[in-house]
């Protein structure tokens, strides 16, 4: 269990560090700005279809530059998660196979795929920001973060656990993310009826 938690913690912390390093201070996270900030080229699969082979997204390093190629036929929320997932592979330094990180699907994902999923969900929907916004439901999370209903539902379940345990702002990195988003949180906080 400690090994799995270590992978989770590394991916979560990397997502916070990426938000800090890229000075992200509002939702939804501007992924185009992030890839531009980091010198990554973003391509739709219609521009590089021969590389995709049925994948939702891939990240490629050609020896000089990173490319993220994603399936542009998917809905917006799915495309955003795929791009963030590929950023996770890059920022986490996952090993390449013939210059590629390929997104695989299905059960029993390799640890690198799980880590990239953790990175993507925490990068696009940081818990401390959702907590500050008082966002609880999948619909609220999907609206703020521009992620799919499925991804928002998974995030809402995790947020429910965190709300129960009141597990927010426990890390200096998380505190820094929260402070970076403070103006956005104050302007957009949801008021709930009791």
pLDDT mean for each 10 residues of the chain (194 residues): 72 97 98 96 75 73 89 92 95 70 52 91 98 98 97 97 94 97 97 68
Radius of gyration (C-alpha) of the chain in whole angstroms:
16
Residue 156 is predicted with a pLDDT of 98
Tokens standing for residue 99: 């210059």
Q: How far is 124 from 78, CA to CA, in rounded Å?
A: 12
Q: How far is 152 from 80, CA to CA, in rounded Å?
A: 12
Check: CB of residue 72 under 8 Å from CB of residue 43: no
Residue 62 is predicted with a pLDDT of 85
Task: Give the strand order in the sheet containing 41-44.
Answer: 41-44, 66-70, 57-61, 100-102
Strand partners, 155: none
- CA dihedral of 23, 25, 29, 35, whole degrees rounded to 10: -10
pTM of the shown model: 0.88
Of the candidates 40, 125, 42, which has an alpha carbon nearest to the alpha carbon of residue 77? 125
Q: How far is 40 from 102, CA to CA, in rounded Å?
A: 16
Residue 61 is predicted with a pLDDT of 86
First CA to last CA distance, the chain: 38
Quick one: the chain helix, strand, coil %, rounded to 5? 60, 10, 35
Q: Give the count of alpha carbons within 13 A of 47, CB side only.
A: 11
Residue 143 is predicted with a pLDDT of 97
């Amino acid at each position: 269990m400690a090994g799995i938690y270590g992978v989770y913690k590394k991916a979560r912390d990397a997502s916070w560090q990426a938000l800090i390093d890229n000075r992200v201070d509002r939702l939804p996270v501007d992924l185009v700005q992030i890839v531009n900030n980091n010198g990554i080229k973003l391509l739709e699969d219609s521009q590089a279809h021969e590389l995709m082979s049925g994948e939702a997204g891939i990240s490629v390093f050609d020896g000089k530059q990173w490319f993220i190629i994603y399936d542009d036929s998917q809905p917006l929320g799915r495309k955003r998660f795929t791009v963030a997932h590929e950023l996770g592979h890059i920022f986490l330094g996952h090993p390449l196979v013939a210059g590629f990180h390929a997104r695989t699907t299905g059960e029993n994902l390799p640890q690198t795929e799980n880590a990239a999923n953790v990175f993507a969900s925490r990068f696009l929907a940081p818990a401390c920001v959702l907590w500050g916004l008082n966002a609880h439901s999948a619909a609220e999370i999907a609206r703020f973060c521009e992620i799919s209903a499925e991804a928002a539902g998974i995030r809402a379940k995790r947020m429910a656990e965190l709300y129960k345990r009141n597990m927010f702002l426990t890390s200096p990195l998380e505190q820094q993310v929260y402070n970076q988003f403070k103006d956005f949180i104050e302007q957009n906080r949801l008021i709930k009826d009791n």
